[in-house]
Structure 1
Amino acid sequence: RSRECLGGLLLQPLLEGQNYGAAAADGTQCPSVSVSRNNPAKRDCLVVAVLCFGNLINFIDWFIVPGILLDIQKYFGLSDGKTGLLQTVFTLCYMLAAPIFGYLGDRYNRKIILGAGIFFWSGVTLGSSFITESHYRIFVLSRGLVGIGSASYSTIAPTIIADLFEEGKRTTVLSIFYIFIPVGSGCGYMLAAGMAKSTGDWHWAFRVILGVADGFSIFPHTPFFLISLSCFLLTFSGSFVCSSLGLTAMAFVTGALGMWMPLFLYRAQVVQGVVPPCLQESCNSSNSLIFGGITIGTGILGVIAGAEAARQLRKINNKADPLICATSMFVSALCLYTALMVAQMNILSTFIFIALGELFLSVNWAVVTDILLYVVTPRRQSTAIALQILVSHLLGDAGSPYLIGAVSEFSPY
């Protein structure tokens, strides 16, 4: 019911200045939200709040599977390669759907596309919790469908923010919006692991997490029904191309980290003799809880630091944004490499360097999108974001989870 209310708010024409209090599917009344046409600032803040909430749910959904990866691997009896394929299929469907939604977002009602995407991906996630161990291929398919639903949100939501705010305020609002990427990712790990531990069944992570996320929604509902591959040619600037390639490198790293890091930490602890190998039906997911917390903390700090650094350094150098991105990526690479090297010797040092690596990775989120928004004409921003998603995921995190899984099969551990 709460998700229906969220979808309804995205569908309602916020400029109408009406008091909406529609009925949910069960006949009960959703809380009313009043938006005055005479107070555009308050209206814009409400829109941003809804978009941030949707982004939180989106990335919780992304990282449910990595949060309970060991349980899923045991349940379906998967090799590392097939396990990594789960995230690869998700990302492939996500990136292929992005250009379609970018095209639609530049031409049709964005609120309808956003609401339909939320409804679709949440329904598929819930349905995937009932898939049995003999239907691994259906489970893989369900993750692909979730990726399609998520693409609608990631493609269109930033352009709505761009329409509402000028360049100075836009950086601040984008930083708030992108904070919910690491926050949602970390919550996905933590909530999935916590629910699997408390219930003794990883399936409940899919069922309950969506309900918990929906419980925070207080928005009105309007019923909606059906939603209505073209790529529009862009005149690419050097800034767009270079920022897209940089985002691709970042996507490769974050895809591999997001899928494999909790399992990597567990195996490092086994090698060090800190924990025994998992021989029980339900495995210890404490690393997912810790990694989730690290992701939230470093993500919030990194996004804020990146946006603030961009605002201040632009006053000195108008090329500050790409310099910030390049520097943070280089430092992140050094930290993550060090984490891999010390994993066999000291688990605490591994956690520290992973946290530093994620911190400097998160510096890029808002800055990269801001670069795109001020080098691409507003009429083609949804398409540009969609094509950037396509390229970065095609060459980045679409393959990295499977590639790392395949390489790990040759590891002696």
Structure 2
Amino acid sequence: MLFLVLLGFPVFILCYMLAAPVFGYLGDRYNRKIILGAGIFFWSGVTLSSSFISELYYWIFFLSRGLVGIGTASYSTIAPTIIADLFEEGKRTTMLSVFYIFIPVGSGLGYVLAAGMAGLTGDWHWAFRVSYSLSPMGLSHSLWSFVWSSLGLTAMAFVTGALGMWVPLFLYRAQLAQGTVSPCLQETCNSSNSLIFGGITVGTGMLGVIAGAEAARRLRKINNKADPLICATSMFISALCLYVALMVILIAFGELFLSVNWAVVTDILLYVVTPRRQSTAIALQILVSHLLGDAGSPYLIGITKNDCSPQWSFRSMQYSFVVCAFVGVFGGAFFLLTSLYIEEDRKEAEQTSPSSLNTSSSSLKEAIFRV
């Protein structure tokens, strides 16, 4: 099971990254709702079908992971732009927070669901079948805010991907090093740790996204640079918490502050990029953040020796996780750089948006008529 997950993950990420620009291009030119609905239907069908694949035909399982990545790219790219079309700025952040809150919630429930169904049925395929039943059937001229915020998101993806892949095993190694579990009980402990980590991810994700959106809504009234400053502050605090947490085996606070940024980062993109190029911008951001982020971070963290003493197995992974803390600091720096350009880029995007151009044209016609 672990072998399939480790090999299936890069296939999913690769197809997800490469498909995102395609859907971004289509979303800026054709009906977004149709593309979104088709992508969700496609993703749901492939997820259900993959639950009937046996390990004997593992290559088909890898193919299905890639197809799920393609379906995921469709709604991850287009859904935020639909929200932006439906709601004005004040409500848009709230709606984006509702959308993005289900990223950590879904991820955390995935651990809980997989561990629970595997324990209940003795067959990991049922996790895919249950997840199916839960599923619903150009850029502005000045791009510095977009570039720096995308790099900040890349740092977030790096840390999130590494934590999501290795924390359950990290917790097991900590228990093994402390002598609280027996080596022969690894599968049982991994299942228990997956439940614990899943619960932490759900709780901190919900709280973090809500807190981030509310903080952004309130602070924008007094500071036009509030969004990137919130993201920078939360990344710095998350990096500090992760570093401290890794030394004392507490992950929750690091994940909490990491989750603050999900909705806020997308909101930054939506107001520094003109509406006609938003899907393309989101697609490009997805490509870069996953290519340089969680596509490689789990394997970088996983380069540790397993054929040594329990104490060193734990310490080696602990030291590897420190990389996440340093990447979090870089993410905070990227968001600080975003704050230097955010006001200028926002004004430029507003001036080049279709609504502002139409308003200017109407004002010009009224002036000519009066003359």
Query: Same fold per TM (> 0.5)?
Result: yes
- Determine the structure 1 residue equivalent to 2:328: none
SS, match of residue 199 in structure 2: helix
Where structure 1 has 5 or more consecutive residues not aligned to the other structure, the ranges are 1-71, 222-231, 343-349
Deviation track 1:104-148 (CA, whole Å, cap 9, x = no partner) reads 011111122112211222222222223323333332222122111
Match 2:111 to one of 171, 189, 194: 189
- Determine the structure 1 residue equivalent to 2:296: 399
Matched, 1:268 2:268: no
Deviation track 1:176-223 (CA, whole Å, cap 9, x = no partner) reads 111111111111111111111111111111122322x15xx6xxx8xx
- Determine the structure 2 residue equivalent to 1:53: none
Matches within 5 A, 1:139-218: 139-211=61-133, 213-214=134-135
SS, match of residue 29 in structure 2: coil
Deviation track 1:313-334 (CA, whole Å, cap 9, x = no partner) reads 1122111111111111111111
In the alignment, the residues of structure 2 paired with residue 313 and residue 408 of structure 1 have an alpha-carbon distance, to the nearest angstrom, of 47
Shift of 1:85: 3.6
Matched, 1:247 2:157: no
Larger radius of gyration: 2
Could you tell me whether the CA contact under 8 Å between 1:88 and 1:397 is conserved in 2?
no
Mean alpha-carbon deviation: is it higher for 131-140 or for 86-95? Answer: 131-140
Distance 1:121 1:243, change over 3 A: same
Match 1:105 to one of 19, 23, 27: 27
Match 2:243 to one of 337, 344, 347: 337
Mean alpha-carbon deviation: is it higher for 107-116 or for 84-93? Answer: 84-93
In the alignment, the residues of structure 2 paired with residue 273 and residue 201 of structure 1 have an alpha-carbon distance, to the nearest angstrom, of 30
Q: Percent identity?
A: 81
- Determine the structure 2 residue equivalent to 1:307: 213
Matches within 5 A, 1:9-408: 72-73=1-2, 78=3, 84-211=6-133, 213-214=134-135, 235-278=141-184, 285-342=191-248, 350=249, 353-407=250-304
Shift of 1:409: 5.5
Could you tell me whether the CA contact under 8 Å between 1:234 and 1:384 is conserved in 2?
no
Shift of 1:83: 5.1
Structure having the higher helix fraction is 2
In the alignment, the residues of structure 2 paired with residue 112 and residue 142 of structure 1 have an alpha-carbon distance, to the nearest angstrom, of 22
Q: How many residues align?
A: 310
TM-score by length of 2: 0.78
Could you tell me whether the CA contact under 8 Å between 2:140 and 2:274 is conserved in 1?
no
Distance 1:408 1:124, change over 3 A: farther
- C-alpha RMSD of matched pairs (Å): 2.1
* Matching residue's letter, 1:199: T
Could you tell me whether the CA contact under 8 Å between 1:102 and 1:384 is conserved in 2?
yes
* Matching residue's letter, 1:185: S
Distance 1:408 1:83, change over 3 A: farther
Deviation track 1:292-331 (CA, whole Å, cap 9, x = no partner) reads 1111111111111111111111122111111111111111
Where structure 2 has 5 or more consecutive residues not aligned to the other structure, the ranges are 314-371
In the alignment, the residues of structure 2 paired with residue 358 and residue 263 of structure 1 have an alpha-carbon distance, to the nearest angstrom, of 17
Could you tell me whether the CA contact under 8 Å between 1:278 and 1:284 is conserved in 2?
no
Could you tell me whether the CA contact under 8 Å between 2:101 and 2:209 is conserved in 1?
yes
* Matching residue's letter, 1:277: P
In the alignment, the residues of structure 1 paired with residue 204 and residue 186 of structure 2 have an alpha-carbon distance, to the nearest angstrom, of 32
Shift of 1:283: 6.7
